[in-house]
A and B are shown apart, each in its own frame.
Chain A
Amino acid sequence: MQTLTPETPSDLVELIHKSATSQTKLRIGTHQPIQQSEVEQSRLVNISKLNQLVEHSTRDLTIIVEAGMTFQKFYEKLAQQNQWLPVNVPAPETTTIGSLIAANYAGPLQLKHGTVRDYLLGIKAIDGNGNYFKAGGKVVKNVAGYDLSRLLIGSQGTLAAITEATFHVKPLPPRKSWIVIACQTWSIAESLIEFCLNASWQPSAIELLTGKTWLEKSYLPTTDKQKTTCYLAICLTGAASEIDFILEELNPWETHSEVNSQSQIDEQYLETIETELIEFASPKPEAWIFQCHIRPKQIVYFTEVCKKYFPTGSFQAHAGNGILNIQLSEECSIDSFKTSFKKIEQELSKYYQSKINFRLLQAPHSIPMAEIRSGFQYPQAAIMHKMNRLLKERFDPNFILQTNNPIYEATAAYLNETATKA
């Protein structure tokens, strides 16, 4: 099917209007669906021409850009003024600002720097009725009207197509370093995490990495790969004097008997490691990716248990935030997951009362969507599906925006369930 490329926001308004009348489904922007095959049912809309810098008030630390600008370009514009937006996105050269908001990409840096919610000040967007609306503004404090800007964060493009966004940005820190510590045992990893979180300084990220994918990385320390249970990658940002101070604080750990090595990532790999850390959880045609949220203090143990049941898997935890991403090969069957998930839950149940949600972020292209639909339920209370459904009906009554989406897969499941009950 032909890809449409609107030149201006009004083109896009018109396009949506027409599609609403003809009930044509649209897939707008660059962010990835859960299953590539789904894309084919929709008309693709490329917003890469809506990529202008609208306003950059450098001294106000605010920037307004059109939503089709790629993150890479956005990052460069800011860097010219010694500023940045401290979030990471996968494939920055193609991922747009619109996707950043719609997908709510949140990588390693969220520990210190937060997520898109903490930077988004305003938007312009077009809902499924073709209403071109704005919300928020360009000042950091603003309580006029409902915060529709932030409502669109994580909405996966299902409510409205974003055309413009205003962000509050930060001065680029003078220095950034990544320290990688190869840990022999889970317990030393736990102690190190504890140490970093309780220190007077604030790490920007603490990543717990283990499994096949990571062992292959050339930028991680090569010594004793066999003996290494997991790596901790710690990001530090700040003034040179601050970083020096923190490095000194971390120094004594190097000689710990359960620490295999401790090293700073070489300057040339700095970007690589950050991109790979965010891309770990983003679509790959041949892998399953799951995400779990758990209380941060249980993250190491949780990772250990997960690894036990998925010995060939790879794992990445945003350790300070309690988020674990699990990457599994496409050979795994849905049934075997379910058995393993149940066992993991059982093993953890003595420490963790509530149910653990293994949320599917990505399925291999070889698995048919129908199988995925019947295999996984989305972890949410019925009432939540209802709210999402109601919002969808208001914003997009003709269901033309990004309809094949986990949010509404879940809603559909909920609706079926309530229909059966009735």
Chain B
Amino acid sequence: METLSQTSSLPLLEAKFTELLGKDRVLTSPSERLVYECDGFTLEKNIPDLVVLPETTEEVVAIVKLCNEYQVPFLPRGAGTSLAGGCFPFDGGVMIVLTRMKKIIELQVRDRYAVVQPGVINSALTRALQGTGYHYAPDPSSQIACTIGGNVATNSGGPHTLKYGVTVNHILGLEIVLHDGSILELGGPTGEQFGPDLISVFVGSEGTFGICTKVWVRLTPDPEARKTVLAVFDDMDNATEAISEIIGQGIIPAAMEMMDQGITQAVEEAFHFGFPTDAKAVVIIEIDGLQAGLQEQQDAILKICQDFGAREVRHAQTEAERLQIWQARKKAFGAIGRLSSSFCTQDGVVPRTKLPEMLRQVAAVSEKYGLRIVNVFHAGDGNIHPILLFDERDEEQVRQVLEASDEILETCLDLGGTVTGEHGIGIEKLSFMPRMFTETDLAVMKNVKEVFNPSQLLSPKKKLPSEDIKELKRLKPGRHAPH
């Protein structure tokens, strides 16, 4: 396909956009479009030909119609925090940036829903709900910056997924501008749909099915009380077994996060939270719910941890202590900078009971390649984030990091898991799709894609592998952000 910059329609399109949005909301100069060349995934870069910043659904419709008229590719972008290149503009084209669509349209606490524009920041919604007794449950680690629209596109998770589910479990309705500029409304305040669950298939479609311009989200009542336990283990296997046992015994904590020795040491060195640096694993377990039942649960958890040889089990005595424990977890990634200037975070999932085996495999890979790998992850979900440390100036090591990453992800697949739990396919993991799915599976997915996106002008070449990127070779590992 001819790219937009090669066609003569660019100045025409530019003029039409300017007429529609005004000068300030159309970025045309190369120096202003530059920053949109990549998102949180920086390995591949491509500058979009035009960047537009609509504020209303009508403007999005008009933009999409113009793109169709001039037959140029276009794609949506939120805050650009994707770690997999979700906002990467393959063929350049028009980037529709939704960050100015940030109105919270309705907050209906009694009816337990809110209506927001896609550019609303995840934590802004939570802040707006403070004091109402309700919150928006999905809390990806990037929640201070990422948008609800982006969460919808990637079906984001977060530490509290374990009990509260991922984004798709909290979406009641969507207003979507389709590939041709028509508006499709799905669900609404009560989530009522008629026929196939189109909301669910749209959530996680990474911008290839349309641009959502309005979202009805479910609000979740705040728990009456919370308890946070910190368990210290001298053995990784014991720690993961204990995690499995807790759930096996019928306790569903709100979150269960694990940090290995490498991470604990870095965190300790950086922030001095008082974590034992000689322990092999630290597990953070948070339970929430009705005060009346909580103590029982906490006692059960303490007992399980002790039965599995926990060296020490502490629980937060005050809210300040609780926050401090979470701060340690959330700041873990920042501390990695102290271990190595370059690092690559992987995102794989295995069934929870396979965690001990998975972590042994990660250790084996680490030994095989002589690479340092540390772990901090959502243990309750079986969602691992092994972090491979390396020196990006050492080409040999870079190659090894790539191979080691692939080996780890292959192991996830072998153990019945997946190669991405929450970061998405984007462009990073396109090459893994044929390894996870058969040709038939992909053909059926392609059928659905063609229903929503027949011209392929919208987010071209994303989510499903296409001919010209089957050969896409990753040259460098990602330097990834916290998750």
Contact = CB atoms under 8 A, between A and B. Distances in A.
Direct contact of A and B (CB under 8 A): yes
B162 to A, nearest CB: 8
Given A146-B201, A322-B111, A200 B224 contact: yes
A200 B310 CA distance: 33
B81 interface: no
16 contacts: A57-B353, A58-B248, A132-B440, A134-B441, A135-B445, A146-B445, A147-B203, A172-B250, A241-B296, A293-B192, A295-B189, A296-B110, A380-B194, A383-B182, A388-B195, A391-B196
B423 A143 contact: yes
B40 interface: no
A39 interface: no
A198 B110 CA distance: 8
Interface in A51-93: 57-62, 82
B463 A146 contact: yes
- How many chain A residues sit at the interface, stated as a range, is 35 or more
A129 to B, nearest CB: 9
Interface in B381-430: 381-383, 416-425, 429
Residue among B110, B418, B432 with the highest chain A CB neighbour number at 10 A: B418
A359 B194 contact: yes
A117 B168 contact: yes
A269 interface: no
The 9 closest A-B pairs by CB, nearest first: A171-B250, A150-B200, A141-B421, A245-B292, A200-B224, A293-B192, A155-B196, A394-B447, A242-B293
B30 interface: no
Contacts of A197: 110
A313 interface: no
Given A139-B417, A170-B252, A154 B443 contact: no
Given A134-B441, A407-B195, A143 B420 contact: yes
Interface in B150-175: 154-155, 157, 161-162, 165-166, 168-169
Given A139-B418, A171-B250, A202-B221, A390 B195 contact: no
Given A118-B169, A383-B182, A146 B195 contact: no
B350 interface: yes
Contact of B422 (A59, A135, A141): A141
B433 interface: yes
B195 A144 contact: no
A104 interface: yes
A133 B425 contact: no
Given A148-B448, A154-B193, 6 more contacts: A141-B381, A141-B383, A146-B448, A150-B168, A295-B189, A383-B182
A418 to B, nearest CB: 13
B180 to A, nearest CB: 10
A61 B245 CA distance: 11
A140 interface: yes
Contact of B417 (A114, A137, A294, A357): A137
Contacts of B351: 57, 60, 62, 138-139
A137 B418 contact: yes
A297 B109 CA distance: 10
A394 B417 contact: no
Residue among A146, A158, A159, A297 with the highest chain B CB neighbour number at 10 A: A146
B451 A159 contact: no
Contact of A148 (B108, B157, B420, B445): B445
A419 interface: no
A60 B353 contact: yes
A117 B193 CA distance: 12
B194 to A, nearest CB: 6
Residue among A139, A158, A244 with the highest chain B CB neighbour number at 10 A: A139
A387 B451 contact: yes
A233 B290 CA distance: 21
A348 B423 CA distance: 45
A309 interface: no
Interface in A78-128: 82, 104, 114, 117-118, 127
B196 A159 contact: yes
A326 interface: no
Contacts of B184: 381, 383-384, 387
B234 interface: no
Nearest to A381: B185
B251 interface: yes
A145 interface: yes
Interface in B426-481: 429, 432-433, 436-438, 440-445, 447-452, 463-464
Contacts of B421: 139, 141-143
Contacts of A139: 349-351, 381-383, 416-418, 421
Interface in B353-382: 353, 378, 381-382
Contacts of A387: 184, 198, 451-452
A390 B201 contact: no
Nearest to A112: B221
Nearest to B157: A141
Interface string A226-251: 00000000000011011011100000
A325 to B, nearest CB: 13
Given A61-B247, A143-B424, A117 B440 contact: no
B112 interface: yes
A12 interface: no
Nearest to B429: A144
B183 interface: yes
A142 B424 CA distance: 8
A378 interface: yes
Contact of A154 (B157, B195, B221, B424): B195
